[in-house]
């Protein structure tokens, strides 16, 4: 059975992922990096309380077959572009580097549809920078998922996301052909794909999976 390491396991995608990992018979241990303990009580889950500002010093030396990264925030939550970049780029790349240093071979990370180092959009450029720097680390396999608008039940209420979710569901018939990748995607589907990837016998050295292919 597999042992995995998860960062961002209390967010929307991360929660769905950990729940499915718990239910899956193919995993014996799920090590989660968290800021506060008490998120998970299942015996398969081991929580490691860390400060991501001091990750190198606090990184758990626990072997794993695969690492999942679901770290991410919003500008509103972060409070500034500098802080958002710190979380969405620096924390993710630092986590990836520590995983690589530990000898983990597979790294699966959540990015965003439209991520690019060349875009003028701050959020998407941040994700593009993150992708570039994670790919440069040199894992045996680095898989990047680029989901579109996320569907699922968040712990905190976000009015604009609720409204957008309703609109996207109601207008799904418009997202066909080349527009299909812009459809909203449920976090459970993303989590399932991440698990399939982690269990695959072979994976490419690197791959970017767009939302409609998840």
Contact between 3 and 11 under an 8 Å Cβ cutoff? The reply is: no
> Residues 6 or more apart from 86 whose CB is under 8 A from it?
78
Q: Tens-digit pLDDT profile for the chain (214 aa)?
A: 999 999 999 999 999 999 999 999 999 999 999 998 888 999 999 999 999 999 999 999 999 999 999 999 999 999 999 999 999 999 999 999 999 999 999 999 999 999 999 999 999 999 999 999 999 999 999 999 999 999 987 555 555 555 555 555 555 555 555 656 678 899 999 999 999 999 999 999 999 999 999 9
Number of domains in the chain: 1
Domain that holds residue 58: 2-213
Are 211 and 176 in contact by the 8 Å Cβ rule? The answer is no
Answer yes or no: are the C-beta atoms of 88 and 127 closer than 8 Å: yes
pLDDT at res. 38:
85
Q: List the Cα angle 203/124/128 in 5-degree steps.
A: 45
Burial of residue 84, with CB atoms counted within 10 A of its CB: 0-12 exposed, 13-18 middle, 19 or more buried: buried
C-alpha dihedral over 5, 7, 8, 13, to 10 degrees?
-40
The confidence score (pLDDT) of residue 172 equals 57
pLDDT at 81: 98
Give the separation between CA 12 and CA 177, rounded to whole angstroms.
28
Q: DSSP readout, 50-72?
A: --GGGHHHH------SEEEE---
CATH of the domain at 169: 3.40.50.720
Q: Collapsing DSSP states into helix, strand and coil, what is residue 184?
A: coil
Task: Report long-range pairs for 84-90 (Cβ below 8 Å, ≥24 apart).
Answer: 84/122, 84/123, 84/126, 85/126, 87/52, 88/123, 88/126, 88/127, 88/130, 89/126, 89/129, 89/130, 89/133
Give the global pTM.
Answer: 0.89
């Amino acid at each position: 059975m597999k042992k995995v390491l998860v960062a961002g396991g209390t967010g929307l995608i991360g929660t769905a992922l950990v729940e499915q990992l718990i239910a899956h018979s193919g995993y014996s241990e799920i090590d989660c990096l968290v800021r506060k303990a008490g998120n998970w009580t299942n015996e398969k889950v081991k929580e490691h309380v860390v400060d991501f500002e001091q990750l190198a010093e606090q990184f758990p030396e626990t072997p794993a077959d695969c690492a999942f990264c679901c770290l991410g925030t919003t500008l509103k939550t972060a409070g500034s572009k500098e802080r958002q970049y710190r979380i969405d780029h620096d924390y993710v790349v630092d986590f990836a580097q520590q995983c690589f240093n530990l000898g983990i071979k597979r790294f699966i990370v959540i990015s965003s549809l439209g991520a690019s180092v060349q875009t003028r959009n701050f959020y998407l450029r941040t994700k593009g920078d993150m992708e570039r720097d994670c790919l440069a680390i040199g894992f045996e396999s680095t898989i990047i998922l680029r989901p579109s608008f996320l569907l699922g039940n968040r712990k905190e209420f976000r009015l604009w996301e609720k409204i957008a979710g309703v609109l996207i569901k109601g207008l799904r018939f418009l997202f066909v052909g080349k527009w299909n990748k812009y459809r909203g995607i449920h976090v459970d589907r993303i989590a399932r794909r991440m698990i399939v990837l982690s269990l695959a016998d072979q994976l490419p050295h690197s791959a970017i999976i767009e939302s409609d292919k998840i």
